[in-house]
Structure 1
């Protein structure tokens, strides 16, 4: 992705622009590159075929989905950061000493499982149990050696090393074993009938998921998952609500690899909606429609005060809706918007904070909501279209708040926008408005009653057709590249969804979620508001360091049931949890989106996290707003909805003015306190508080206007006297 020094149209015009490689992601070439490319295309094509034309048995489909994601992940992502010019080291004696037992063990397990498949599928006989037992003994041994060795023998930046090839093969063996005995697995998993073979195979699968999650999302989610795993075995020795009866390793690991855990709701969403819409985003990227969104935002808002920051608000909202990860959205749009924000006068940490807050907010924007809407529909049973409609007003309030924050800072610092020669032509952008057709088709088909799968597929096809009206015409090679890009973008989400499934499985098996709900009810007896604040803190803590989908899935399992038992409707409960799970990406001290933005801005990560927290502060209040005023979720009479929207909008305006210390001019501290009080009154949602807030807001505006006029008149008189003195 290249950027011109004088215009911001460079990235969108660059036909070769692609998503940048992660620091541990390989740039595969040669025969290996073509093999992985072909596998990625086949992987996504299989999903699209299964979702639209040839349905597959559910557990089998999800097992293939997880295994394919693991295989692609180990082939493309190294265990450590890579040097791009590193082509790896040759095979010495030490390499052979470590590699030989790992390769032999996993290859032996693969051969035994393949033989069992042959006997079952071709000879029509039952697979010998001794073969499966020996495979289960050999597989984890080879996998552990390869996991340990992957940090030293990466293979370089152009091809996977032998440890990653072994891990990819191990993932295939686990999937083949599970599918071979899928009917028996359903009966035995999670019961006393589960034996050592089932435990070893499922345990190997859990290890592989944790290793790939570490590579794509860092240690945070892995550590949290490890805590839950320890709790599953150590809970019998804990006091109070954390105590449970304990479980044998055989029962636990086999239970985790069922639809109560890894193959449960998170993988259900990952294997359907996420893979579909990530591929849709890849088609938008390949057809350059995604770049058009960014350039349209520049053309519309680039000339305004602090133009690049306002562009970041709009562009990040559009792209983040589809992207699925806050940090990924920062990387995609921040590389362009953050340098331009710094150019017009924003401090580095402010530029990073704006981008992080806006990119995180993209996860709240319907109709896709970064895949969160689909998980919510899966968990709650609420129709997807109802969730998408309910999300409109809260998302609008969030971005309205960020817009006010950006505008007030630009006024306070005396910033200007970009000049016309640095921006795309707005008329030219309007003439290309047909590039919005894929999004329009997606929304129209969803609300016309089409299934989410069918609507997403039609939108994907329309992206191809629309590309035929542009210089970036998508033929068969471009479509294949888009499918492969979709697989590459999906791998991190497949890993974190499977990892979140482990946590969900532990919560389900131990019943800790129900006990937490009981504790929340006890808190609510003293104060419902206190219970809500407690639920907010738990949702943020559980979500720290996690991508959006995993954060929401875990928080929904622990917190949402307690809110519902307090009498809060399911939709409000899950939106409350979803918002704070998303906002964990900009909440210090662990704020993934802010850290990604700080890396681009070249500033302190913790200061950037604090700044992004300030820019997104309104979003921390919005969930309490729709708790007290469900009309914000489109629940109520039209007049009530209009009133609540109007007063809430004024509330976030006053909140932004208070935080930035600027209304009509600079505000003193006592005036900022009154602005904050007025904002909180408007946000409460009642008639009395709304009217009080409106009166207070009008009084403060009139007061500052009169003081500004007085200061302006005094300055004019002083200037006049000075002029007469000079004469």
Structure 2
């Protein structure tokens, strides 16, 4: 993103802030007609990309838009401004039936081309090429023989499907509607959390709670990233914001650069899994499934706790094995420093309460944002003046711009998949490869989502994966698990959502891990490999959503406690195995036993729950007992003599 100078910075800041302010107003007092709202959203934020994101970093002007950037911005605004001016006619027209005239054809092409360039600049080049491939398939699909054959499409049908089919997909489809309404207001709430000092509260809380223990900075990174991720909405921005503080601390006390980057990226991607605000994809899930967002938050809560529990355990074992000390006392804030910002949790409580009371997400976020400003005013250190308010609105606007582009692009992909029938064809291929085996189907879908996540952000990746994978899970899962399709709907979406999130930290291309590696000056591939091992709980929890309903708080407290205990024991065994440490360094045989018990407990759902729990917990207890006995001083040994080789 450019660092604009002078009056240009003021114009861009006011532009972004004004756009965000209008979205916030609509969130509290009601949105206009859907087509007008989507048109306004895109008119504000797509042109902003061309002014604030350079075409070629390093070659384009770094502090001002070029003439071509201004022309791109004007071209990007025209089709969406036209939709705003003609919203009634657009809403009333019959898709693929009413004429799609030359004027609409030109505007549609302009909307598609500018969106592709905006995606390349502000999102990912891989996302741009996926959109191009989707459009190319609509053009050439009728020439492909066999399973991938589709019907011919006219040029007008292709442009209309990509641009102006509000009920099904495309740039003006329901996905853009979700971003322009609910997600936009939550992004604004997150920006006000940062502007009020809630980020400082989260960091100080993490440092005060975990800094005194072995590997303190790493545990601070885990806690802080989990808390901060609930408001950032982006794993990469989470890495950059918290990693700039935590990674240097980890390096200073002895963590290897790649390990420090892996810890930070694994913790940062998990922010999207952590209620009460789980990122944009969770709101999309609520819209697609028709399940209230509050129900999704409740179902996902225990899995998110397990994810961070496993990272903390892994970090602890890593620190003990490497002999890494706690944080320096001078770096640990006093609890009075934490409590000085404690009042800032009240707006979060307001948000959770309103959502649990089944108010709409945008209404809850609107009042939580106003509550944040009011509560922050209670103390001078958190009080937000007009500059902080405008700055928070502008920050929200700059965050929304690339997200608006990414979601509109995902709408084009979904529209192409649906119109051509490729969803059915691709789903048929996965089903055929699975051979009717439900576990193999899930493994193939997980791999598909991880591959999709190499080139596109979490939310579009989840959207496309859900279109392909959910019907397959509902069909085979009903037979394999004995559940109705309605009972399987939320677990299926959460399964795919988890793997879309984890793709940001999994090799070979992992945006969050690469950002952390840049801060740590480490190998990106090594950082992503470490991030995968620290985040292994996400893979286990993803499968548990389908096989262990207790993890979604279904079936009563006993079932939930049992599911949590099984996964907690299994993940502890796995993390101890790959760290090579439990209560003392582990040899090859104990590591192998712990790995086998952990994998069986986490993934072998064919075993009875009692066997899975006994195997994981029993192996942990056995290995710990053997190490404890071995660590006892031998009879006659001198007090203080060492018998562990100095490794503990």
Q: 5 Å matches for 1:67-466? A: 67-82=43-58, 154=60, 156-186=61-91, 187=93, 189-191=95-97, 193-257=99-163, 258-259=165-166, 260-466=169-375
Preserved contact between residue 190 and residue 232 of structure 2 (Cα < 8 Å): yes
CA contact (8 A) 2:46 2:73 kept: yes
Which residue of the other structure, out of 490, 497, 501, is the alignment partner of 2:411?
A: 501
Q: Deviations over 1:423-458 (max 9, x none)?
A: 211233134321211211111221123221121011
Structure-2 separation of matches of 1:688 and 1:188: 55
Relative distance call for 1:416 and 1:179 in structure 2 (3 A) is same
Contact 1:41/1:484, CA 8 A, preserved across alignment: yes
* Correspondence for 1:121: none
Distance, in Å, in 1 between the alignment partners of 2:237 and 2:152 is 39
1:535: which partner in 2?
A: 445
For residues 522-573 of structure 1, the C-alpha deviation after alignment (integer angstroms, 9 at most, x for no partner) is: 4455311111111111111122232222221121122222212223611011
Q: CA deviation at 1:700?
A: 4.9
Name the CA distance, whole Å, in 2 between partners of 1:276 and 1:497: 16
Of 40, 57, 63, 1:64 maps to: 40
Q: Structure 1's 402 and 41: CA in aligned 2 closer, same or farther, altered over 3 A?
A: same
Q: Secondary structure at the match of 1:589?
A: coil
Shift of 1:696: 5.7
Corresponding residue to 1:698 among 605, 618, 643: 618
Structure 1 residues 693 and 75: CA distance shift in structure 2, 3 A: same
User: Structure 1: 5+ residue runs without aligned partners?
Assistant: 1-21, 83-151, 723-727
TM-score normalised to the size of structure 2?
A: 0.92
Displacement of 1:688: 3.1
Tell me whether 599-608 or 239-248 shows the greater mean CA deviation. 239-248
Structure 1 position 387, deviation (Å) = 0.4
Q: How many residues align?
A: 627
Greater relative contact order, per chain length (Cα 8 Å cut-off, separation 6+): 2
Distance 1:537 1:46, change over 3 A: same
Alignment of 1:506-655 (within 5 A): 506-566=416-476, 567=478, 569-655=488-574
The answer for unaligned runs of 5 or more in structure 2 is 479-484, 643-648
Distance 1:60 1:698, change over 3 A: same
- How do residues 4-83 of structure 1 correspond to structure 2 at under 5 angstroms? 22=1, 25-30=2-7, 32-82=8-58
Q: Give 1:711 shift.
A: 5.1
Moved more, 612-621 or 518-527: 518-527
Superposed displacement of residue 46, structure 1: 1.6
Q: Hey, which bits of structure 1, 4+ residues long, moved more than 6 A?
A: 718-722
Q: Is the 8 A contact 2:186 2:362 kept in 1?
A: no
Question: Would the alpha carbon gap of residues 35 and 223 (structure 1) be closer, same or farther in structure 2, given more than 3 Å must change?
Answer: same
Q: Which moved more, 1:692-701 or 1:386-395?
A: 692-701
How many angstroms does 1:346 deviate by? 0.8
Match of residue 595 from structure 2:
676
Q: Identify the residue that residue 481 of structure 2 maps to in structure 1.
A: none
Instruction: Decide whether aligned partners of structure 1 residues 700 and 498 sit closer, same or farther in structure 2, where only a CA change above 3 A counts.
Output: closer
Higher-Rg structure is 1
Does the Cα contact within 8 Å between 1:586 and 1:613 map onto a contact in 2? Answer: yes
Distance 2:537 2:337 in 1: 35
| More displaced stretch, 710-719 vs 524-533 | 710-719
Q: Distance in 1 between matches of 2:84 and 2:601?
A: 57
CA shift in 2, pair 1:707/1:572, >3 Å? closer
Q: Is the 1:513–1:561 Cα contact (8 Å) retained in structure 2?
A: no
8 Å CA contact retained: 1:190, 1:253: no
| Separation (CA, whole Å) in 2 of partners of 1:192 and 1:495 | 27
Distance in 1 between residues matched to 2:430 and 2:385, nearest whole Å: 56
Q: CA deviation at 1:271?
A: 0.7
C-alpha distance in 1 between matches for 2:524 and 2:31: 46
Q: CA deviation at 1:713?
A: 3.0
- Partner SS for 1:559: helix
Change (3 A) 1:703 1:618: closer
Q: Partner of 1:98 in structure 2?
A: none
RMSD: 2.2
SS in 1 for 2:456: coil
Q: For 1:477-528, what per-residue CA distance to the aligned partner results, in whole angstroms no more than 9, with x for missing partners?
A: 3212221121112112111111111111111211211233334444455311
Counterpart CA distance in 2 for 1:356 and 1:715 is: 47
Aligned to 1:88: none
Partner deviation per Cα, 1:645-676 (whole Å, 9 max, x = no partner): 12221111111112212112222222222212
Aligned position for 1:688: 608
